[in-house]
Amino acid sequence: MTVNKTLFLIFASLVILTGCRDRTQVTVAEIRPRETNSDHLQQALQVIDELDVSDFNQATTTSIFNFNLWSKLHDDDPQWVTPSLINTVPTALANTGLVQAIGGKLFIPLDINYLHETSWLHAIAQWVVADDLPHRMLWESYKPALADEVASEELTKVLKLFDWTVRNIQLAPLLDYPTIPANTEGPVKTVSQLGLPGPGYSRTNRDVLSLGVGDWWQRARIFVLLARQQGIDVVLLGLPAEFGKTNQPWLTAAIIGKELYLFDFKKGLPVFNAARTEIVTLNQLKADVDFGRTLFPVAHQQQPQETFDGLVGLIEADVVAVSHRMAILEKYLTGERQMVLTVAPSIISLRLRTEHQINRSKIWLPIYEGYLFEAALHAKLVAQDASALEFVNSTRDHSLFHEVPQLLEGRFKLLRGIFDDDEANLGVKGENGA
């Protein structure tokens, strides 16, 4: 059994950031010509381009070296600010090197994994929205008539990305949050810090995309990230909760124009109106409370208006995606390398509040819980913990990829939209019917 490379990268990132500071200040004597600095960036990006076929650990070392030579001599981004919503992340998750380093310019191993995943997401989003095969247009007949041409085009893009997500990510059961063992010694830790599998955080984005399996929270997260590559904001709507309790995700909402279009990733369907003739919006559900209440869990059906009024925007904002270093790098990506690396949760929160009457927003936590879980899982695997070994073998079995490398190559080709009709070549065959 091979330990997932992502575990090592996350573990290494946490170790690096708890023991090092970002030395971004340099003396005049250290400054090199601009051409040399640009060369460092190009060398780092070339490594990212080749990650599908490279030794990941070696590539990580090489790219970090070049990124840091480039960023050390680069000016700060004057427009970047620490997102205020980072304060909604609980202390147990926020007090890690990953969160504390968002303002620095020092690249870390986790960034390389993030850039590789984002290159997949960008490629998927590009070829899927350009795909007009009949199955990709399945939901078009349920699209409401929109006078706004831009909004209509955005909704078509979202429907195509939704279709790809539910077709290509097999639904796994959503785990409950585990109970912390009573005999746990030492400082109080969260379930993710203890390496206990739970909802939404037990698989990395890399595993969800490469293995094609995820619970409905993980499906929704991939959908959010795909839409982001098309410049479309998507959030999850959280149900009201008592103070100190977690807002449980309810539905996924694409922000298009003045409406929130709703999707149910547990069922793998858009949310339809009562007549099941059109995809419904949150405003339409609010206007038809008797129907809208039927979509709530039983515990929230008795007071539907209070539930609607108390919905919370859960914003997917990876600690890497809100970092200063990604804000700088994003502006230097051009041509085929251009992709969305950042998110502005405060701007999304403002849109939800002023345009959609969602008065409270938070950063959605599973990606943060996932980083702590991966670090704890790595430590357990090194210690040959039986439960950790069983978990990885049952949920992240890459053995078939090792036995038949062509399958992994084919999966990567699928993600990048490379469809080959030449039987002499390895990889995905035939039409782009994914």
Q: 388-399: per-residue pLDDT in tens?
A: 999 999 999 888
Instruction: For residue 407, tell me if it sits in a domain.
Output: yes
Is the same domain home to 381 and 420? Answer: no
Cα–Cα distance, 52 to 210 (Å, whole number): 11
Instruction: Tell whether 183 is covered by a domain.
Output: no
**Antiparallel, parallel or unpaired: β 312-315 and 360-363:** parallel
pLDDT band at residue 136, thresholds of 50, 70 and 90?
confident
Q: DSSP assignment, residue 389? A: H
What is the sign of the dihedral through the CA atoms of 35, 37, 43 and 48?
negative
pLDDT band at 184 (very low <50, low <70, confident <90, very high): low
Residues 425 and 278 in one domain: no
pLDDT level of residue 109 (50, 70, 90 thresholds): very high
Quick: pLDDT tens for 18-45: 444 443 333 433 444 444 668 999 999 9
Domain boundaries, position 419 = 400-434
| One domain, residues 415 and 366 | no
Q: Considering only CA atoms, which of 127, 203, 133, 157 is closest in space to residue 394?
A: 203
Give the Cα separation of 141 and 137 in Å (integer): 8
Q: Stretch 165-179: mean pLDDT, rounded? A: 96
Are 429 and 339 within one domain? no
CA atoms lying within 13 Å on the CB side of residue 430: 2
Q: Which of 144-158, 243-257, 286-300, 391-405 has the lowest mean pLDDT?
A: 391-405
Residue 250 lies in a domain: yes
Q: What is the pLDDT of residue 129?
A: 96
In a domain, 31, yes or no: no
**pLDDT tens per residue, range 216-231:** 999 999 999 999 999 9
322 in the same domain as 416: no
Query: What CA–CA distance (Å, rounded) separates 157 from 129?
Result: 5
Residue 183's pLDDT is 66
Question: Which residue type sits at 188?
Answer: V
Q: What is the pLDDT of residues 61-104, one digit of tens each?
A: 999 999 999 998 888 999 999 999 998 898 878 877 778 889 99
* Residue 63 included in any domain: no
Q: Are residues 411 and 363 in the same domain?
A: no
384 lies in the same domain as 408: no
Residue 3 has pLDDT above 80, yes or no: no
Highest average pLDDT, of 128-132, 317-321, 416-420, comes from: 317-321
315 and 413 share a domain?
Answer: no
285 and 434, same domain (yes or no): no
- Residue 150 within a domain: yes
Q: Are 219 and 347 part of one and the same domain?
A: yes
Q: The tokens of 234 are what?
A: 């998507």
When divided into structural domains, the chain yields a total of 2
Domain shared by 159 and 229, yes or no:
yes
